[in-house]
Amino acid sequence: MATAAIPQPVAAILPRHVAIIMDGNGRWAAARRMPRAMGHRAGVEAVRTVTRAARALGIEALTLYAFSSENWRRPAEEIGGLMKLLKLFIRNDLAELVRENVRLRVLGDYRRFPEDVVALIDDALARTAGNSGPILAIALNYGAQAELVEAARALAERAATGAIDPASIDADAIEAQLATRDLPPLDLMIRTSGEQRLSNFLLWQAAYAELLFVDTLWPDFGADELAAAVEAFGQRQRRYGGL
């Protein structure tokens, strides 16, 4: 089957690491008088499209906020549907990720998920561990505040045993404890659906990232929208506190 051409951005500077808060599945479904589950299903198709587009554009790492630690507050039926879609995505797309040399990463405590989901994730991570190409990181049962608490606790325990001097703890020491420690620095964070907040996602990593909030609902966010976001990034002036 022929693949649609991926539009190329005008930007001369590509972000190495792009993160996306995938928002708007429910509103997409509601606007079409469909069940929320249909919005999540359409959102999975958008994940497939955007991950392929990111590879075609040459983005080194793509991180997707798929399931936050706060999403457990949703109805059990919806959570169950999301677990089924996650399993379906792994089963349908793992072979392509392996073939395309993609390294799959998971941020967050996914071991709270059902055993069959955990087994599929473990297998996917193992089968892509030796790949050397672009990184696809999926945030599952992830919360940035919990990530920072865990980092602080780990450093405090090492300091308490005398393994490190508390005075030596700096930003690099904290970053070394984060789930993203082997990913490139975050360059661009995108949130779809018009909402303008970070929702406990990569709070430390976003310190100097460029933020882009777009009105497009996630199921409608595709290759063109990603290319436009990358082009907008290329037009930003990143001063990091300087002139």
pLDDT digits (tens, 9 = 90+) for 177-207: 999 999 999 999 999 999 999 999 999 999 9
Percent of the chain surpassing pLDDT 70: 94
Average pLDDT over residues 108-135: 97
Are 88 and 43 within 8 A, CB to CB? no
The CATH superfamily label for domain 17-233 reads Decaprenyl diphosphate synthase-like (3.40.1180.10)
Q: Phi first, then psi: what are they for 207, rounded to 5°?
A: -50, -40
Known binding residues for Mg(2+) are 23, 210
Q: Taking residues 221-241, report their average pLDDT.
A: 92
Q: What are phi and psi of 130, to 5 degrees?
A: -85, 0
pLDDT given at position 13: 85
Average pLDDT over residues 127-151: 97
**CA–CA separation, 119 and 128 (whole Å):** 14
Cβ neighbours for 160, distance < 8 A, ≥ 6 positions apart:
none
Distance separating alpha carbons of residues 16 and 57, to the nearest angstrom: 10
Active centre residues (catalytic):
23, 71
User: Which pTM was predicted?
Assistant: 0.92
Q: What is the DSSP letter of 9?
A: P
Binding residues for substrate: 24-28, 36, 40, 68-70, 72, 74, 191, 197-199
Beta pairing, strands 61-68 & 17-21: parallel
Could you give the strand order of the β-sheet that contains 61-68, starting from the edge strand earlier in sequence? 103-107, 135-142, 61-68, 17-21, 188-191, 210-213
185: left (phi over 0), alpha (psi -120 to 50) or beta: beta
pLDDT tens readout for residues 145-171: 999 999 999 999 999 999 999 999 999
Residue 241 clears pLDDT 90, i.e. is over it? no
Residue 219's identity, in one-letter code, is P
CA distances in angstroms from 80 to 87, 160, 238, listed in the order given: 11, 41, 42
Model confidence pLDDT, tens digit, residues 8-39: 544 458 999 999 999 999 999 999 999 999 99
